[in-house]
Amino acid sequence: MILSREQNKQCNITGRVFNIQKFSVNDGPGIRTIVFLKGCPLRCKWCSNPESQNKEFQLMYNNQNCIECYKCVQTCGKCAIEKNNSGKKLKINRNICDDCGKCVEKCYSEALVMSGKNMTVEEVIKEVKKDSAQFRRSKGGLTISGGEPLMQEEFTKQLLIEAKRNGINTAIETTGYGNEKSIEEIIPLIDVILLDIKNLNSEKHKKFTGVDNKIILENTKRIAELAKELIIRVPVIQGFNADKKSIREIAKFVRSLETIDEIHLLPYHKMGVNKYECLGRDYELLDLETPSEKLMDDLREEVLKEGLMCNIGAV
């Protein structure tokens, strides 16, 4: 394929990716390849991809993979990493470590990895296109996730343009937290939008996610007008929104948008807890239970009462 000079320039735009996951069946129709971008304006306490939140590169250390060769200790010129005598095999001083990644190059057991990789649009699309045959067979495609893809708006936009030029179905997973201009430019390029609404109570929203819900709700209305297909997803979290009142309020709001007829309720899970440890962070919700089947059924009833369809679990 011969590209014009302008297309060539756009293919060279660089974004920061932390994972490309193949064969996903939960994040849009068919079999999908998910491109996870780094950076998110929210800080959801239950986030299962905590490495997605910070846009910067981040050193991750998995104690279980460490074979105690201590090559990393010898390599770090800043003395940010040292042997540990009790508990974990290594101690990383995150106040000194600048995430330069030199220790990662010496760690052959992959106990140390750097989260984040700069990739051009062309590089990402080349990787995604390897799965074209699966996409055709399953009516799948590319899903851009995060983090929040709208935070890397130009990169996301160009990825979507290139995917479309290659005949690839496009989906996005978004918090809805972005600026008006990027939403208006990006949404028409997407076949399926998966948008989270977490709580209509703004105070509670802020306490559990770090931001209030004003921008998200306004953007949801805007997206509902522009979207080809919009699916609202609700992560169901005990003590936050796993109650009839909270879910009924969300269902009422969704019904008022008039263009959406379905909500997906996603029960909380503990996947990703280990990643907090790898980042040297505490996980605040350790004692939190997964909602029972009975509770999920009761919450589904609340959605049905508003005349909407309701799915429990993934798309």
Using CB under 6 A, list all residues that contact ligand SF4: 59, 66-72, 75-76, 78, 80-81, 90, 92, 97-103, 106-107, 109, 111-112
Tokens describing residue 279? 């980042």
Of the two residues 116 and 291, which places its CB atom closer to ligand SF4 in the complex?
116
Q: Dihedral (C-alpha) 76, 80, 82, 85: value to the nearest 10 degrees?
A: -170
| Residues 129, 121: Cα–Cα separation, whole Å | 12
Tokens describing residue 191? 């076949």
DSSP 314: -
Of the two residues 70 and 253, which places its CB atom closer to ligand SF4 in the complex?
70
Name the residue type at position 153. Answer: E
In the complex, least distance from residue 110 CB atom to ligand SF4, rounded to whole angstroms? 8
Of 89, 42, 41, give the one whose Cα is nearest residue 61. 89
Name the residue type at position 171. Answer: A
In the complex, least distance from residue 108 CB atom to ligand SF4, rounded to whole angstroms? 7
Of the two residues 113 and 273, which places its CB atom closer to ligand SF4 in the complex?
113
In the complex, least distance from residue 64 CB atom to ligand SF4, rounded to whole angstroms? 10
In the complex, least distance from residue 54 CB atom to ligand SF4, rounded to whole angstroms? 14
In the complex, least distance from residue 93 CB atom to ligand SF4, rounded to whole angstroms? 8
Tell me the H-state helices in the chain: 5-11, 71-75, 102-106, 121-129, 132-138, 153-165, 180-186, 202-209, 214-226, 244-256, 273-278, 293-305
Beta-carbon contacts of residue 232 (< 8 Å; ≥ 6 apart): 195, 196, 197, 220, 250, 254, 260, 262, 263, 264
In the complex, least distance from residue 278 CB atom to ligand SF4, rounded to whole angstroms? 11
Q: Is there a contact between 314 and 298 (Cβ–Cβ < 8 Å)?
A: no
In the complex, least distance from residue 312 CB atom to ligand SF4, rounded to whole angstroms? 40
3-state secondary structure of 185: helix
